[in-house]
Amino acid sequence: MSDQSHGDRRPAPTLPLDVLVLILSYLPRSDTATLSAFLRSSKLCYTAAAPLLYRHLHFGSPTDLHHFVGLQKASKRGQANTISRPGQGRRPPKVSNTRKKDLLKSVRTLSIKAHNDWWCNGLPELSFPNLHTLRLDLSRESPNLIHSKDQRQSCVTFRTVSPKRLVLRSLQPWPGLSPPFAPYADLIQRTTDDLVLVLGELGQPWHPALPSLLSKSLRPLSSCPAKRISIIFWTESPHIRCLRGLDSSSQRWPNLAGDFLLPFAKWALTEPRKLVMVNTGSFAFLRKSTAAAEEAVQEAVEQQLKDGIPNTIFEGYPGGQVEKERLRDVEFMTMKKYLEETDWAGVFDEKEVRPWLQVSEAEG
C-alpha cells in the first residue's frame, strides 16, 4: 500500500524577499558569520543576504581582497600571491565573475586601513557605483605612503569614486612628511556631502613651519564641494591636558589650537558650509577622569577656539562682516553629542566609541 501522506506533501513555505531582507537587517553588523552561512543556503537567501553582507567592507591587508579578486595560492605553504605593485610589470588581478561584480553595487561603506600601494594597485578595474562612505585609515608609522602620480592613477579610489562622505583618519601632517592632502586632493574635490578629518596624535617635535605647511596643503582644496566638514581631535594627551583641566604650563595646546585647528577652520569657512569641531575628550584613556573634569576641559577647549576664530579665521579676507556671518555655521560638539546626532558608523569602529556609549547608557 502506498503511503497516502506522500501525495499530500507541499513545498516548504518561503518568506517574501522583502520580509527576508527585513529580518536579516536586524542582525548586528559584526555578525558576518550568520550572513555568510545564510548566503550559501539558496538562491533566494543569496539575493537577500549578499547586499547586507557587502554593504560594509573593511580591507586591512592585501589578503582581504579575496572577496572580489579571488587571489590564488602561491605555494604549498598556502600563502596568497603578492598583489602586483606599480613598476613590477604585472597586470593587477581582474574580476571576471559577474556575481562578484554585482556585489560591488551593494557596497555602501568602504573602509581601507593603511592606504598604501598594495591597495592602490589591488582593484583597478572595479568601481563602487552606490558608495556612500569611503574611510581611509592612514598608517601611524607611515601616514603618507602615496606620493607618485602613477600610484594615484592606478588606484580606483582616486580615479572613479565620488563618495558622499570621505573620512580621513590619523592625519599627521608634520614637517618632513609629504604634504598631508596632496595625495587626496582629487578625491576630496569629488566628495559631495561630508568631509571628516580625524586628526592623529601630535607628532614630535613641534616645528614652527607647520602653519605654512598646512596653508600650502589646504590651498588646492578650496573648491571642495562638501556641504559639511567635521574636524575631530583629541585632548587626552598629557602634554595638552591633565585631570584638573588644560595644562597651562605646556605649550602643546596653544600650538594645537593656533597652528593646527584654526588653519583647518579658516580653510573650511572660505565657502558657506557647516563646520563641526569635535573634541573627543579622554574617556577612553584616563579612567580616573571625573565628569566634572571632562566638562571643564570641554568648556576650556571650546572657549579658546571661539576666541581664536574671529581673530584669525578671516584675517586677510575681504568683506569681513559677510565672512563673519559664517561663524553661525560653526558648531562645537563633545564626542558624546557627536555620537548621538550623527551617523558615526562610517567614522569610528564600535570598540573605539564604546566608552562614550557606555556613559550615555548610564546617564539614560
pLDDT tens digit sequence for 57-110: 777 655 555 555 443 333 333 333 333 333 333 344 444 454 566 777 888 888
Which backbone phi and psi does 329 adopt, to 5 degrees?
-90, 5
pLDDT at residue 264, rounded to an integer: 78
CA distance 192 to 226: 5
- If you ran DSSP here, which 8-state letter would residue 184 be given? G
**Nearest Cα to 133, choosing from 49, 193, 182?**
193
| Cβ contacts of 250 within 8 Å, gap of 6 or more | 239, 240
Bigger pLDDT: 294 vs 146: 294
For 43, other C-beta atoms within 10 Å of its C-beta total: 7
Q: 187 exposed, middle or buried (CB, 10 Å; 0-12, 13-18, 19+)?
A: buried
Q: Find the DSSP H helices in 219-290.
A: 252-256, 262-268
- The CB density around residue 125, as the number of other CB atoms within 10 Å, is 14
Between vectors from CA 298 to CA 297 and to CA 303, what angle results, nearest 5°?
100
- The three cell numbers of residue 347 are 567614522
**Amino acid at the residue 136:** L
Q: Residue 163: what are its φ and ψ, rounded to 5°? A: -75, 150
Q: Which residues of 98-113 are buried (b: 16+ CB within 10 A; e: fewer)?
A: eeeeebbebbbbbbbb
List the single range of 103-107, 112-116, 183-187 with lowest mean pLDDT: 112-116
Task: Name beta bridge partners: 228.
Answer: 194, 274
Between 122 and 101, the more confident residue is: 101
Q: Which of 141, 310, 276 is nearest to 197 (CA)?
A: 276
Identify the pLDDT of residue 252: 53
Which pLDDT score is estimated for 218?
Answer: 72
Average pLDDT over residues 103-129: 66
Q: Are 174 and 207 in contact (CB under 8 A)?
A: yes
Give me the mean pLDDT over the 285-302 stretch.
Answer: 59
Sign for the CA dihedral angle at 34, 40, 45, 51 comes to positive
The answer to whether 301 and 247 have CB atoms below 8 angstroms apart is no
Give the Cα separation of 27 and 41 in Å (integer): 17
Task: Give the separation between CA 91 and CA 139, rounded to whole angstroms.
Answer: 26
Tell me whether the omega of the peptide bond preceding residue 11 falls within 30 degrees of 0, making it cis. Answer: no
Taking the CB of residue 154, how many other CB atoms lie within 10 A of it? 19
SS3 of residue 345 by DSSP: helix
Average pLDDT of the chain, as a whole number:
65
Q: Give the lowest-confidence range in 86-90, 277-281, 331-335.
A: 86-90
Contact 276, 230 (CB under 8 A): yes
Tens of pLDDT, residues 223-252 = 788 999 998 877 654 434 443 444 444 445
Q: What percent of the chain has pLDDT over 70?
A: 40
Q: Indicate the pLDDT class of residue 193, thresholds 50, 70 and 90.
A: very high
Cα separations in angstroms, 36 against 21, 47, 48, 161: 14, 12, 11, 27
Q: How far is CA 71 from CA 41, 74, 108, in A?
A: 24, 9, 23
Whether the per-residue pLDDT at 181 is higher than 60: the answer is yes
pLDDT value of position 164: 92
Q: What sign for the dihedral angle of Cα 233, 239, 242, 247?
A: negative
Whether the pLDDT of residue 30 is over 50: the answer is: yes
Residue with cell 558650509: 273
AA letter at 73? K
What pLDDT band is residue 117 in, cutting at 50, 70 and 90?
Answer: very low
Residue ranges per domain, the chain? 14-53, 56-68+80-363
Pairing of strands 241-242, 194-199: unpaired
Residue 132 pLDDT exceeds 70? yes
pLDDT given for residue 165 in this prediction: 94
Give 191's Cβ-side CA count (13 Å radius). Answer: 26
| Residue predicted with more confidence, 260 or 164 | 164
Q: Which tens digits make up the pLDDT trace of 150-174? A: 555 556 556 678 889 999 887 654 4
Residue 146, pLDDT > 50, answer no
Please report which confidence band the pLDDT of residue 324 belongs to, taking 50, 70 and 90 as the band edges: low
Structure confidence at residue 316 (pLDDT):
52
